[in-house]
Amino acid sequence: MKNLSFFLILFISANIFPQKFADTLNVVAGQKFNVPKTGAFLVQNIVNIYNKKIQIYDNDGISINLTDKPELYQKPSTRKFRKQVFKDEGRGHSVIFWTENISFHNAGSYIIEFVIPVKGEIRTKTIRRRYLINVDYPTLAAPFTVEKKYFIKQNVSFSFATNEYNDPNKYSYTIRDKEGEINIANQGSLVNLDTILQKDKNYGKVFTITGFYDNAPFFYQDSGKIKESKWDFQVIHPTFRGSSPFWSQNKDNIRLININNKYAQRIYFLYEGNIKPNTFIAFTPNIKWVNISSEPAEFLLDKTPNTSVEGIFSYLIFPINQNYINKLDEPLTIKITLEIGTQFGVENLEYYTKIVNCQQE
């Protein structure tokens, strides 16, 4: 009995998936195609057609239904065909069959089978026509990488066009924030993030780019991996840096300076960072407020320094207590503590130096 079951299964499989197909079509997921690829399937010398249909099988031989159920077309139509047969007193006629605009969303091998029960001039039979459909995912026209994080003010663009989806007018994309609100909706495959990255208000936000072809997201091949046309990224800012040849953030590496030199009373700031080797980004901080304190406290006249901009730098000028400075008769180590509010939040920094009081040359 077990042997009988085995041979029965083998027999059924051999009939469902014969070694010979009418044609083999190689397509990509989401791409619409016709079966046959060109022309139509011709059936000759028939006098009637009964309940024709299309059967579709997946890679495991399981019958499946597509979201958009394909229709098996014929020419001439049933009405015209029967009229011709009647006119010719029952003589057989030819009919062509085809289906169109089929698409598969997932890669794999499928079989499309035309099942056409007909009555010929002599006998009734069921004609089966099978087509092997190999579905793969499209390949990128040009490789790209969407980073998990991008700097504010960074210039970023890339194209998600593929080699197989060749109608440029069918590409589009959206950029949404994590609340789902659409910030950008554009046609084409060229994504430009400048509109997002040039706005300070987008700092810290996470966005999702979704690429579409023919109004649907898709999967694609990239270096042997299958990826979806969705990419997430977060907007961050580069490192906030302060610099001065007179002040050090390392209390064990300080120098002796003349505090009466006006440049010794300044620290310059900017946002800067490396995007990748040999690629650098820098821009001016928007300093909104500053709290400053010192050790010893008498070094400063008050806690509100003046700020200004020079070139790409923002800088602040220490409100030093000149009367206190004038009374110094030996070098003195100074510590400055800064709390700086910028367009991206609060930065806390400490600086050290050792001062002497002497006339600036």
pLDDT at res. 109: 95
CA 176 to CA 174: how far, in whole Å? 6
Does residue 361 form part of some domain? no
Claim to verify: residue 58 and residue 97 sit in the same structural domain: yes
Claim to verify: residue 351 and residue 253 sit in the same structural domain: yes
Q: Would you place residue 280 in the very low, low, confident or very high pLDDT band (cuts 50, 70, 90)?
A: confident
Q: Which helix (H) or strand (E) holds 14?
A: helix 2-16
Q: Which helix (H) or strand (E) holds 282?
A: strand 279-283
Final residue belonging to a domain, choices 236, 259, 274: 236
Claim to verify: residue 251 and residue 339 sit in the same structural domain: yes
pLDDT at res. 110: 95
CA 83 to CA 76: how far, in whole Å? 10
Claim to verify: residue 297 and residue 345 sit in the same structural domain: yes
Tokens of 322: 């000149």
pLDDT digits (tens, 9 = 90+) for 294-348: 999 999 998 889 999 999 999 999 999 999 999 988 999 999 999 999 999 999 9
CA 21 to CA 7: how far, in whole Å? 23
Does residue 321 form part of some domain? yes
Final residue belonging to a domain, choices 205, 236, 267: 236
Question: Average pLDDT of 146-162?
Answer: 95
pLDDT digits (tens, 9 = 90+) for 25-75: 999 999 899 999 988 999 998 999 999 999 999 988 899 888 788 999 999
At residue 200, the 3 state secondary structure works out as: helix
CATH code for the domain of 287: 2.60.40.1220
pLDDT at res. 60: 85
Claim to verify: residue 253 and residue 338 sit in the same structural domain: yes
Tokens of 41: 């399937």
pLDDT at res. 158: 96
Claim to verify: residue 228 and residue 247 sit in the same structural domain: no
Cα four-point dihedral sign 252, 255, 256, 259: negative
pLDDT at res. 182: 87
Mean pLDDT of the chain: 89
Cis preceding-peptide flag for 277 (omega within 30 of 0): no
Residue length, the chain? Answer: 361
Q: Which domain holds residue 64?
A: 15-136
Does residue 184 form part of some domain? yes
CATH code for the domain of 227: 2.60.40
Rg (CA), the chain: 37
Question: Average pLDDT of 132-139?
Answer: 96
- Cβ atoms of 175 and 183 within 8 Å: the answer is yes
Task: DSSP for 48-69, please give it.
Answer: EE---EEEEE-TTS-B---SS-
* pLDDT higher at 118 or 10: 118
Cis preceding-peptide flag for 76 (omega within 30 of 0): yes
Does residue 192 form part of some domain? yes
Claim to verify: residue 26 and residue 115 sit in the same structural domain: yes
Report whether pLDDT(19) > 60. Answer: no
Does residue 251 form part of some domain? yes
pLDDT at res. 91: 86
Number of domains in the chain: 3
pLDDT at res. 249: 95
A 10 A CB-CB count for 214 gives 15
Instruction: Report the alpha-carbon angle 177-180-185, nearest 5.
Output: 75
pLDDT at res. 359: 57
Q: Would you place residue 13 in the very low, low, confident or very high pLDDT band (cuts 50, 70, 90)?
A: very low
pLDDT digits (tens, 9 = 90+) for 77-120: 988 988 998 888 788 888 999 999 999 999 999 999 999 999 98
Claim to verify: residue 87 and residue 165 sit in the same structural domain: no
In percent, how much of the chain has pLDDT > 70? 94
Report whether pLDDT(204) > 90. Answer: yes
Tokens of 119: 């009555």
CA 136 to CA 30: how far, in whole Å? 10
Does residue 5 form part of some domain? no
Does residue 255 form part of some domain? yes
pLDDT at res. 285: 96
Claim to verify: residue 24 and residue 93 sit in the same structural domain: yes
Amino acid at site 51? N
Claim to verify: residue 254 and residue 317 sit in the same structural domain: yes
Tokens of 267: 């620290």
pLDDT digits (tens, 9 = 90+) for 25-37: 999 999 899 999 9
Does residue 44 form part of some domain? yes
pLDDT at res. 28: 95
Tokens of 13: 């499989």
Final residue belonging to a domain, choices 136, 169, 194: 136
Across-strand partners of 208? Answer: 176, 232
Q: What is the pTM of this model?
A: 0.78
Report whether pLDDT(1) > 50. Answer: no
pLDDT digits (tens, 9 = 90+) for 339-349: 999 999 999 99
Claim to verify: residue 212 and residue 249 sit in the same structural domain: no
Claim to verify: residue 322 and residue 337 sit in the same structural domain: yes
* pLDDT higher at 187 or 6: 187
